[in-house]
Structures are given as C-alpha cells and as structure tokens.
Structure 1
Amino acid sequence: MKQRRIAVTLGDPSGIGPEIALKAYGDPRIHKHMSLVLFGDKRALDEHARLCGLTQDYHTLGSASEVQDWKGGLAFIHVPCLDGSFRIGEVCALSGAAAIAALDAAVDAAQAGFVDAVVGSPIHEVAIKKAGIAFDGHPSYLARRTGTPVDDVSLMLCWGRTRVAHVTLHMSVREALDAITSARVENVIRMTSQVLRRLGLAQPRIGVSGVNPHAGESGLFGREEIEIIGPTLNKLRAEGFDLLGPMGADTLLPRNDCDAFVVMLHDQGHVAARVAAPNMAAAMSIGTPVMFSSVGHGTAMDIAGRGVANPEALIQALLHASNSFSEGENE
C-alpha cells in the first residue's frame, strides 16, 4: 500500500493547532501509515513546541515542490506571516491571516500534486474576519480556491462509521429554506455517493432527512418533503440509487442500516456530531478536486500553549483523509 503524504495546516497559530499537529504525528496510527507535511509559520510551531514540551524533529522543506524528493516522515514548510506581536491565546487579525495563508499554500500543493490530501487544524472565523478575508466555511472557500462551483461542494461530518453530508451550511435558516432546491439536494446525494464508492462501497445506501419536524408529517408541518425532496429521491431511485427517506433527522440519524446520511440543515448534522462524538468528528469537504478534511472543533484559545490539548479529532481527520482513497489508488 502506498504511504500517503498529507499536508497539515497549523490552523490559527494562536490556538491549539500547532500543538495537536505535532502530537498527531506522534501517534502510531499516523506515523506508521502516512507522512505529514506541516504548513504554517515557524514562529508559531517553535513557540508551541517550547511551551508544550514537544519534539521539533521535522525536516524543513524550502518549497512544496521538494516533497517529490523527500523520503517521508514529518516535514515542515514555512509560510511566513507572523511578527513580534504574535501572542498565543489571543484572537487577532495577524493569526487569522496566518491561518488562511497556510491553508492556501497547502491547497496549492495538493492541486499541484505534491501532496495527496490536506487536513486543516482549527481556524477562528472572527480572527479571519478581522484580517479582512472573506470566509464562510471551508467548503465554500475551497470551492473558490479550486475554481469549483460552490453548489458542487458540501461538508460531510464523519465519526466512527457515521457520515453526514449537508445540503445547506453557513446561512440563516430562512435563507436555507430557499437554498434547498431539487438541484442542490440531487448534487449533494450524488457527491455523497461518489465518496462512498471511492471507499469501496459499490452500491451505497444513503438515508435522506426532511427539513421539517417529522419530515413534514404528510404536509401538516410543511411541504418541502412533498414538493422538493421526495420527487428528487424518486428521480434518483429510478437511476438505481439506494435511498431511504425523506425522514425526520431525529429518526434517521440513529439508524445503522445506511452507509451515509444527507441532511438539509447545518444543525441537523452538527448537533448529532456534538452529542455522539464531542470534539472528535472529522469534517470533510466533498466535491472539490482536493481531498480536504478538518477537525470538528474550535481553536480552544483558553488552553493553547499549555500542552493539554487532545489531538484525537485531528488524528481522525487524517485517517478519514487517508482512507478516502480507493484500494486501487492505494496500490
């Protein structure tokens, strides 16, 4: 099996990203099966390593193109952005800009074929906004960065054997209702099916939620299921898709007879992830040419630099990114 080379961004350098990136590589589930290339500012990596008592045994690469000749292990690519005003634990524009600079460099390396996938450490959206950078979540940002239509990209939360893709994400519920169209629902189901097939599932079964309580209860609580979601599922069933639903999300997500779920609203998937796998879910952006996964938790500024951050969510994101390649691609 080919050992994958995964780019890992340090995320917001004021948070726990640099710490968990170093800790993740120390886990045998990671260093025995894949090589990591960290992207970020060296000032942040060195300071977190010092404060947390972590090893800095990495190979420094001058550019992403040098990955081709690198023998593997743990490497680092310096993406300069910070200055002497950098402080751990503070939400600031400098750190927001550094997080996006590292993300851009890693995504560019993946598009150039130097790394197989990108995994993102946690970012802070307020810090990014302070930096004056437009950011409405990884899926939309990655779509724009890779020249992919935004409607062709979605977010899939993964924990254990559960996978949940979202039709709408970072918008108000009022806006989301208008965004739940037949075309959008169909796109997300097709994207989800493609991911599952890459995982080796020849005929995946996908459960699809409604948008209203009890999936509208035959029109008593809303008609989106009757007029939009149901007809879309029937169209795809006629093509051979194995689909369950539409069902109320509270009834659907506990089921164990589906390979993945598609939900209509952000909170339908995210609340389930927070309850079932607090701070342990991986967030995969699907539909872009770059395989991207990130942690499902925040920057934890309150514990940054103390050496107590748990790297498990980043480890899970790395495992999901690596496992997203089919057996044929792993040869």
Structure 2
Amino acid sequence: MSHPKLLLTMGDACGIGPEIIARLWDSQEAPQDVCVVGDLSVMRRAVRQLGLSLPVARLDAPDEAAPPNCLPVWQPPGLPADLLSAVQGQVDARAGAAAAACIEAAVRAVQQGQGLAIVTAPIHKEALHAAGLPYPGHTEMLQALATTAGQAPPPVRMMLANDELRTVLVTIHMSLRQAIEAIDVPRVLETIRIADQALRSAGIASPRIAVAGLNPHAGEGGLFGDEEIVHIAPAIAEARAAGLQASGPFAPDTVFMRARRGEFDAVVAMVHDHGLIPVKYLGVEQGVNVTLGLPFVRTSPDHGTAFDIAGRGIADASSLRAALQMARRLSRAG
C-alpha cells in the first residue's frame, strides 16, 4: 500500500544537512510521516557522528511503509559512488551532484503522487556550480523542474517566515545592481498576487500585504530615487484595483517592525537582504523558507550548510523541524 510522505532531501553531504536530519529522529518527536531522500552511507555516517543507536532503513520507494523506530532513507539512482570521500566542510562537486540528484528525484516523486511535499536540507551553491548545475539556488532549480515542456516557467517567489514575520521577495539571487534593474510594475504586481494567494491558501481570508520601498524613506517623494513612483506605487494601485489589500510603498527601515506588531500579514520586499535580514535577526532557529508559486509545497530551513561546524554533531535542527511543521500544515491546507 502506498503511503505518501513529506520528502526530506539530504542537502549537501559535506554540510550539516545529514546530521540535523538524523537529529530529528533522536527525539521523542521523531517524524513518522517523513522519508529522507539521500545517500545511505552519508546518513549512516551522520548517525554515527551523533553517537546514536539508530537503524537506517533503505526504502525501495519514497512511499514505502518504513519499519518502526528507524531512519527511513530512499536512495535515488545516480548518486556518486564515492560520496563518502568528499571531505566534510569543503566544497565538492560530488556533493553538489548528489544534492541535485536528490532534489530532482523528490520533485519527480511528488509529481507522481509518491510524496506530499518537499523539505530541503541546505545545499551549497558553489558545489552545485562545481557539479555543472546552472542554478543559483534551490528556488531557481525547483522552478525549472516544475516547468512543463513547451510552457513558460511558473512564476515563483521566496518567502521567509517565522511566528512573528513573513516576507516575500520581488528579486532573489542576483547582484544588487541587477535586482534594481529587474524591478518593474509587472514583477512587483505579480509578487503581491503570489503573496496574497499563498496567504489565502494558508488560511488567511483577506491578507494585509505591506509593500516596502527600495530607497531610503521609500524615495522621499523622488528625492532619493524614483523607483517607488515609477514602478512600485503603480503596482500597488493595480493590486488594490483588483481587490487585494496591498498598501505602501513604506520605508524599508520601519515596515518590518509594523508587520511584526500585527499591522500586516506579510511584507513584500524588493531585494534579497531587505527582506531576509529582519526575519533572520529574529532567530534562524525558527525561520522557514517557503517557495511560493510551485505546483507543490516546498519548505526549507533558513540557514546554510554551515561548513565550519559540519561533522561535529553540534548543529541545531530547530529550523529544519520548523520547516517540516510548515510543510505539514501547508500540504494539509492545500
């Protein structure tokens, strides 16, 4: 009998992904509805490094029922045979290739009904590039994998969220100069619409969306830049005309505080660091990255591979636990 689960990809084998995954099963809250998509030998090493007496069970399919009291792992085909030779804490093309293969396999499984949602442990962008993958990160890779042949890619956005604040980004992984050039009315409007739809799907009937400006003081009427006048305000006006509760543009240095106090349900930010710094400052242990606009649920912890502590058994699994909880809620809501 098929048992579709949350599919948890291993991440970069040289980072903390495998050990924070193993840490989840070393608790009274060991997830029963999760299948790890990864390399058996890497996951067994992580269990040993944590000093756990935890069996690692190999599943033949991601939706196979797992034996009790074990860490269930589905190892997809195509992983490098010598992955354990990749040194922990260092960039390695083999780790990048394995991480990508696990993500690709998880997407296929969800598309085929063998998984409920995808939760991704951290990957390393340099390792991904070393393996010949052209994507700057998870978001862009998942967008490509979700694209139907012959059709345009689905518009996706990155949301970082915790219990106090949600931010959705207009631009993601590009230089600041490129990001500024990429901001226009259609892109800002699309971000507002995607944020609104995602919040409604999460159970917020009438989302209140604040839109942050780009420039200091939101441009101060054009004194410090005209992006607010030319691109951002017209997009907000179109969103409001369509019935969305969007407002702004607000000064980026104060709008997140207002949202945290409950005035807004989410903030749309123009560039990566404007939106992510406030959420991460509140604590990476509870932050969750959610990719909006995909035809399936995908979440991840809001931290990276932490090469400096990889293999030492001290990495905190709190953000990964929060990502699983978020994926669980969103997949049920959908």
TM-score (norm 1): 0.91
Moved more, 269-278 or 290-299: 269-278
CA contact (8 A) 1:35 1:72 kept: no
User: How far is the alpha carbon of 1:63 from its aligned partner?
Assistant: 2.4
One-letter amino acid matched to 2:46: H
CA contact (8 A) 1:206 1:260 kept: yes
Task: Confirm whether residue 259 of structure 1 aligns to residue 265 of structure 2.
Answer: yes
> Is the Cα contact below 8 Å between 1:82 and 1:98 reproduced in 2?
no
**Aligned residues of 2:12 and 2:99 also touching (Cα < 8 A):** yes
Q: Distance in 2 between matches of 1:193 and 1:52?
A: 42
Q: Does 1:100 align with 2:100?
A: yes
1:214-229 pair list within 5 angstroms:
214-229=217-232
Equivalent residues of 1:195, 1:324 under 8 A apart: no
Q: % of aligned pairs identical?
A: 37
Which residue pairs with 1:284 in the alignment? 290
Counterpart amino acid of residue 104 in structure 2: D
Q: Deviations over 1:201-237 (max 9, x none)?
A: 1111111101111110111111111111111111111
Displacement of 1:82 in angstroms is 3.9
Q: 1:167 aligns with which of 167, 170, 185?
A: 170
Give a deviation string over 1:33-76, Cα, whole Å, max 9, x none.
x5111011111111111121134334421123xx1666888521
Q: Distance in 1 between matches of 2:132 and 2:252?
A: 36
* 1:167/1:264 contact within 8 Å kept: yes
Q: Distance in 2 between matches of 1:117 and 1:289?
A: 10
Whichever residue aligns with residue 207 of structure 1, its letter is A
Cα distance in 2 between the residues matched to 1:311 and 1:29: 12
SS in 2 for 1:250: coil
> 1:212: which partner in 2?
215
Distance 2:129 2:307 in 1: 17
Unpaired runs of at least 5, structure 2? none
Q: Does 1:145 align with 2:145?
A: yes
Distance 1:28 1:216, change over 3 A: farther
Q: Is 1:75 matched with 2:72?
A: yes
Q: CA deviation at 1:101?
A: 0.9
Paired AA for residue 216 in structure 2: P
State how far apart, in whole Å, the 1-side matches of 2:291 and 2:88 are: 28
Shift of 1:121: 0.6
* Residues 301-312 of structure 1 aligned to structure 2 (within 5 Å): 301-312=307-318
CA distance in 1, matches of 2:158, 2:111: 19
Q: Matches of 2:68 and 2:270 in 1, distance apart? A: 41
Secondary structure of 2:316's counterpart equals coil
Cα deviation digits, residues 91-134 of structure 1 (max 9, x gap): 21111111111111111111111111101111111111111111
Q: CA shift at 1:302, angstroms?
A: 2.2
The structure-2 alpha-carbon separation of the partners of 1:92 and 1:68, relative to structure 1 and needing over 3 Å to count, comes to closer
TM-score by length of 2: 0.90
Find out whether 1:39 has 2:37 as its counterpart: yes
CA distance in 1: counterparts of 2:232 and 2:210, whole angstroms:
12
Number of residues of Structure 1 aligned to a counterpart in Structure 2: 322
**Aligned equivalent of 1:300, options 298, 306, 314:** 306
- Structure 2 residue aligned with 1:17: 17
Give, in whole Å, the separation in 1 of the partners of 2:313 and 2:156.
35
The answer to which of 260-269 and 19-28 deviates more is: 19-28
Compute the displacement of 1:251 (Å): 1.1
Q: In 2, distance between residues paired with 1:268 and 1:233?
A: 18
For residue 130 of structure 2, what is the aligned residue in structure 1? 130
Contact 2:218 2:250 in 1 (8 A): yes
Deviation at 1:188, TM superposition (A): 1.0
Report the alpha carbon displacement of residue 136 of structure 1 after superposing the two structures with TM: 1.1
Aligned to 1:116, what secondary structure does the other structure show? strand
2:233 aligned residue: 230
Equivalent-residue separation in structure 2 for 1:11 and 1:319 (angstroms): 18
Indicate the residue corresponding to 1:91 in structure 2.
Answer: 91
Letter in 2 for 1:298: G
Contact conserved, 1:14 with 1:95, CA < 8 A, in 2? yes
* Alpha-carbon distance in structure 2 between the residues aligned to 1:166 and 1:72: 41
Deviation string 1:232-279 (CA, Å, 9 cap, x unpaired) is 111111221111211011111111211111100001012112212235
Do residues 191 (structure 1) and 191 (structure 2) align?
Answer: no
Compared CA separation, residues 294 and 249, structure 1 to 2 (3 A): same
Q: Given residue 42 of structure 2, which amino acid in structure 1 is its aligned partner?
A: A
1:144-170 CA deviation, whole Å, 9 max, x = no partner? 111074571110001123111100011
- The answer for unaligned runs of 5 or more in structure 1 is none
Q: Which amino acid aligns with 2:253?
A: D
Partner SS, residue 103 of structure 1: helix
Q: Aligned equivalents of 2:18 and 2:266: distance in 1?
A: 31
